[in-house]
């Protein structure tokens, strides 16, 4: 059985709190050190900071809004009037938290197909304007694939010829 040795680090706030050794924590092949995970952790840290700087009811209202709840449902959940929810939603800190929550949601679910199509179209236009015809054609081909213009068949069509109508010739 493999046991990870823990190192006891001295920190005045966390006296004798066990932490991972640096060589394990900084392992570049570990999945938690991938850029995707690091980005997600960064977004979550921003959300925690935003949550700490807001009233709990405002933070809960922002979360419920991102989940698609109406003002009436949010008002019932945080025990306020619906008009109060409207004023909460108009606050800058709540709007910022909603944007951050949506950014995290998009990070987890991936890029929307509509956005991806626009990005590829922009690549094609930029490549064409820069005189890179090869890249512009490749971007247009990818865009056509996304649109469904290139539907590749798994097997070729079979052609059956009536031998009585078209008899074999000298070249067959």
CB 60 within 8 A of CB 75: no
Q: Among 6-10, 70-74, 101-105, where is mean pLDDT lowest?
A: 6-10
Instruction: Answer yes or no: are the C-beta atoms of 91 and 58 closer than 8 Å.
Output: yes
Q: Model-level pTM? A: 0.56
Cα separation, 27 vs 146, in Å, equals: 37
CB 93 within 8 A of CB 54: yes
Going from N- to C-terminal start, the domains of the chain cover: 31-109, 113-147
- Mark out the alpha helices in the chain (DSSP H runs): 22-25, 35-52, 56-66, 71-78, 82-89, 92-109, 113-130, 133-147
Average pLDDT score, the chain: 81
Higher per-residue pLDDT: 115 or 14: 115
């Amino acid at each position: 059985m493999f046991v990870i040795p823990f190192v006891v680090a001295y920190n005045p706030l966390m006296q004798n709190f066990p932490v991972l050794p640096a060589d394990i924590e900084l392992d570049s092949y570990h999945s938690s050190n991938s850029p995707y995970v690091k980005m997600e952790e960064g977004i979550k840290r921003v959300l925690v900071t935003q949550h700490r700087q807001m009233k709990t009811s405002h933070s809960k209202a922002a979360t419920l809004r991102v989940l698609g709840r109406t003002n009436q449902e949010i008002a019932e959940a945080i025990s306020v009037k619906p008009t109060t929810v409207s004023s909460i939603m108009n606050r800058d800190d709540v709007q910022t938290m909603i944007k951050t929550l949506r950014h995290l949601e998009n990070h987890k679910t991936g890029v929307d197909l509509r956005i991806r199509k626009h990005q590829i179209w922009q690549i094609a236009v930029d490549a064409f304007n820069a005189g890179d015809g090869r890249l512009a054609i490749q971007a247009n081909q990818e865009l056509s694939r996304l649109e469904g213009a290139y539907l590749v068949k798994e097997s070729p069509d079979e052609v059956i010829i009536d031998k009585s109508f078209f008899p074999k010739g000298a070249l067959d």
